[in-house]
């Protein structure tokens, strides 16, 4: 090879390295590699074929643009093709005269009208996995392929292997993403249908059971109390499902008005006081003289706080203590629910606000619920432009905290609070 040829190849490789630094799309990358291969080796055409495990064959993924339509979707069998031989043996194959090659697959030439006279094919491999083959066709002036040609094409094929492997990973990630999206859609549909279809019959059960409790003899009061208590529990679950569905579908809206968060805390704590006494727990508040007035939706904030208190009641052993505290910040209010219960394992803490997540196994857990209460609380807080999080030490207890802006105009105060305390 002359000095000028060496210089030309060096310039082409330098151009290739420069192009590789650019953010090229997959097809553009393959086209660039093919163009460089054609220049470096001096041939009429370059093809890149991908191994398709589903059909056990090769498929064209990069060809000259004028052959693209004719070769699109064509299957090249491993048996009866030079590319298939290379793919199986993982060794380069040089054919100086394809008319004498019994395993030359003629269909691409027949479809395109192109005449393949000579061929150099090398495997495309990445980390030991065969991904396909790369071929150059018809060396200029009917010259023979050299060892340098083989080395150059193998080097380019290794670059192709890296980008093809990345493409495979992207496909796998996209397939998993699509599958998860479909599962999420099915779950959302289930939530919507379940919450809608169960609400009416459960309302009838609860209504009739409540009526019967007032009119039947005392000897049946315990059974009716059991029906009412469990129907009420089912009603809470359905309301949680409905809240999730409304939030995800965008139906949920904030009806803002001036409300006293102090009053909400007092009312919610009072509504759970009997439950706390029955479970031998001390439920108390820590509130100052301020009303903690904000612009918000009292029902949704009550739901969020109620779910946090119910969670604390569920995971605090008898003789424990639960403290609900409210305090004013600059442009925001902070509410916390602290308990000295069983705490949350470190590995579970990042996921406790996920829908249907349970820190305990469904086979071993002692506490009820569907894992919706905390996720609903998170939704309600975030709808107000607030933030919610948890702090916990396993075996010592947990504290759930949320911060709400006093108004829409003060929403930035929540971000400022986290910036100062992060």
Question: Which residues, listed in sequence order, are joined to residue 326 by a DSSP beta bridge?
Answer: 287, 335
- The CATH number linked to 282 is 3.30.565.10
Same domain for 85 and 65: yes
Nearest to 105 by CA among 60, 150, 54: 60
Both 331 and 380 in one domain: the answer is yes
Which residue, 145, 175, 205, sits at the end of a domain?
175
pLDDT mean by block of 10 residues, the chain; 422 residues? 57 63 76 88 94 92 92 92 94 93 93 94 92 94 91 91 88 88 79 75 83 80 82 74 64 81 94 93 91 90 92 92 93 94 89 72 46 84 90 92 88 72 63
Cα–Cα distance for residue pair 249/179, rounded to 1 Å = 20
Judgement on whether residues 385 and 245 belong to the same structural domain of the protein: no
- Of 198, 229, 249, the last residue of a domain is 249
Q: For the chain, how many structural domains are there in total?
A: 3
- Ramachandran sector of residue 123 (left: φ over 0; alpha: ψ -120 to 50; beta: rest): beta
Domain shared by 68 and 113, yes or no: yes
Are 241 and 270 contained in the same domain?
A: no
Residues 244 and 380 in one domain: no
Sheet holding 129-139, edge to edge: 75-77, 57-62, 43-52, 129-139, 119-126, 93-95
37 near 46, Cβ under 8 Å? yes
Q: Which pLDDT belongs to residue 3?
A: 54
Last residue of a domain, one of 249, 280, 299: 249
194 and 113 both lie in a single domain? no
Residues 201 and 162 in one domain: no
Are 170 and 242 members of one domain?
no
Same domain, 163 and 194: no
Same domain, 241 and 263: no
Q: Give me the pLDDT at residue 21, please.
A: 58
Over residues 323-338, the pLDDT tens digits come to: 999 999 888 999 999 9
Ranges assigned E (strand) in 280-331: 282-287, 293-296, 321-329
DSSP state of 382: H
Helices (H), 216-297: 221-249, 261-271, 273-278
CA distance 201 to 235: 11
Strand partners, 338: 323, 399
> What is the three-class DSSP state of 374?
helix
| Residue whose pair of structure tokens reads 């208190």 in the numeric block | 309
* Domain that residue 222 falls in: 180-249
């Amino acid at each position: 090879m002359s000095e000028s040829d060496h210089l030309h190849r060096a310039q082409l490789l330098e151009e290739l390295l420069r192009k590789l630094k650019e953010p090229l799309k997959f097809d553009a990358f393959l086209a660039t590699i093919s163009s460089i291969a054609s220049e470096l080796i001096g041939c009429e055409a370059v093809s890149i074929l991908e191994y398709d495990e589903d059909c056990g064959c090769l498929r064209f993924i990069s060809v000259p643009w004028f052959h693209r339509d004719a070769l699109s979707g064509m299957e090249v069998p491993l048996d009866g093709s030079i590319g298939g031989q290379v793919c199986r043996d993982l060794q380069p194959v040089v054919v100086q005269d394809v008319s004498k090659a019994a395993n030359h697959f003629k269909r691409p030439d027949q479809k395109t009208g192109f005449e393949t006279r000579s061929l150099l094919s090398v495997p495309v491999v990445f980390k030991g996995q065969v991904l396909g083959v790369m071929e150059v066709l018809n060396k200029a002036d009917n010259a023979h392929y050299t060892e340098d040609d083989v080395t150059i094409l193998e080097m380019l094929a290794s670059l192709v292997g890296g980008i093809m492997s990345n493409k495979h990973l992207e496909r796998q990630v996209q397939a998993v993403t699509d599958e998860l999206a479909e599962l999420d859609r099915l779950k959302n549909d289930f939530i919507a249908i379940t919450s809608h279809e169960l609400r009416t019959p459960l309302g009838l059960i609860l209504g009739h059971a409540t009526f019967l409790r007032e009119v039947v003899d005392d000897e049946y009061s315990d059974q009716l109390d059991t029906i009412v208590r469990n129907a009420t529990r089912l009603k809470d679950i359905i309301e949680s499902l409905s809240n999730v569905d409304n939030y995800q579908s965008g139906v949920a809206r904030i009806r803002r008005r001036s409300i006293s968060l102090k009053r909400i805390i007092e009312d919610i704590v009072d509504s759970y006081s009997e439950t706390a006494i029955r479970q031998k727990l001390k439920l108390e508040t820590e509130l100052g003289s301020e009303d903690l007035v904000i612009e918000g939706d009292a029902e949704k904030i009550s739901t969020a706080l109620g779910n946090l208190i119910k969670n604390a009641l569920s995971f605090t052993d008898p003789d424990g203590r639960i403290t609900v505290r409210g305090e004013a910040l600059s442009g925001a209010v902070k509410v916390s629910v602290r308990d000295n219960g069983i705490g949350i394992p470190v590995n579970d803490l990042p996921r406790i606000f996920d829908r249907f997540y349970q820190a305990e196994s469904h086979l071993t857990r002692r506490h009820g619920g569907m894992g919706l209460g905390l996720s609903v609380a998170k939704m309600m807080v975030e709808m107000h432009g607030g933030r919610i999080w948890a702090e916990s030490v396993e075996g010592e207890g947990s504290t759930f905290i949320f911060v709400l802006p006093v108004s829409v105009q003060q929403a930035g105060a929540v971000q400022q609070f986290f910036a100062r305390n992060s």
